[in-house]
Copies of this chain bind each other. A is one copy, B any other.
Amino acid sequence: MANSKYEYVKSFERCQPDILLPNTWIAIRIDGRGFHKLTAKYAFEKPNDRRALDLMNAAAVAVMKELPDLVLAYGISDEYSFIFHKDCMLFERRAAKLITTVATTFTSYYVHLWPTYFPTCPLTPPMPSFDGRAVMYPSVQNLRDYMSWRQVDCHINNLYNTTFWALIQHGGMDGTTAERELAGTLSKDKNEILFSRFGINYNDEPAIYKKGSVLFRDYELEPPSRSDASPAFAVEGGGDGGLSAPVSKTAKEKERKRRSKATIAVEHVDLIRDEFWVKRPWILSGRAGKLRE
């Protein structure tokens, strides 16, 4: 064939180590690139712009729908984490392919849905883009700690931002003064500032700002069960990368369909305690639950 002379260059592609370790949870995290400028350009509301968050969530819901292998997603600000189950074999677990598929699908919907959420300010170049990375977590505990880390980050950032912008918007400070005011303060100090100076009870703030957004397939909830036996704690959910009861191809296809049909729930709930995981055992088991009627 005419092109054989050059094809040796393909051998260079094998050198990017790319297969993610089997039997590990895969977190793909994407981040808005230079969103500081973007929020200024489109005059996002401070400290939180509800339309911007709704747009992020809508794009993430679309990603979940297009990739039924995803079991969970979590978004805060301009960042989103998408979780593939540890048994997932999509794209043979090739990292570059998983990252770019998630990131470009998200971007595609973000641009497409923009007019729905910002009907009066059309997107113009420079266009939004996102960078992404893949991280592997071997155990359920590691995965839950990752989610907890992000949610704690959400809380810390939002409490800070809420107080910072209250000082500016209601307290008449400039940014530098507000920053100085908050330097070294603890959570309780910020709560106190909000309440005593501005009559804001942080607990009453919308959950979407305080907790971020949790996306999962919406099967029938199960009653919280005997915690010890639950996959949220000890037993690794689902297969174990090889020796679990073999699943037939048709069974797999059925599963896949059931997952595709499930609607994607968007909730603003605690991910740190056990309750979330115990009630929705299908997330860690990777098995589709019972579809809601």
> Which residues of A are interface residues toward B (Cβ below 8 A)?
1-3, 5-24, 30, 33, 62, 66, 86, 91, 95-97, 99-101, 103-112, 123, 125-139, 141-142, 145-146, 148-149, 152-153, 155-156, 187, 234-236, 240-243
Contacts and interface: CB of A to CB of B under 8 A. Distances in A.
A30 B107 CA distance: 15
A224 B164 CA distance: 60
Contact of A127 (B24, B112, B141, B243): B112
Given A22-B11, A105-B129, A149 B17 contact: no
Contacts of A242: 8-9, 141-142, 145
Contact of A146 (B6, B15, B22): B6
Given A9-B142, A96-B131, A234-B235, A3 B149 contact: yes
A91 B33 CA distance: 12
A6 B148 contact: yes
B99 A153 contact: no
A145 B8 contact: yes
B104 A134 contact: no
Contacts of A126: 66
A100 B132 contact: yes
B13 A21 contact: no
Contacts of A137: 9, 12, 23
B139 A3 contact: no
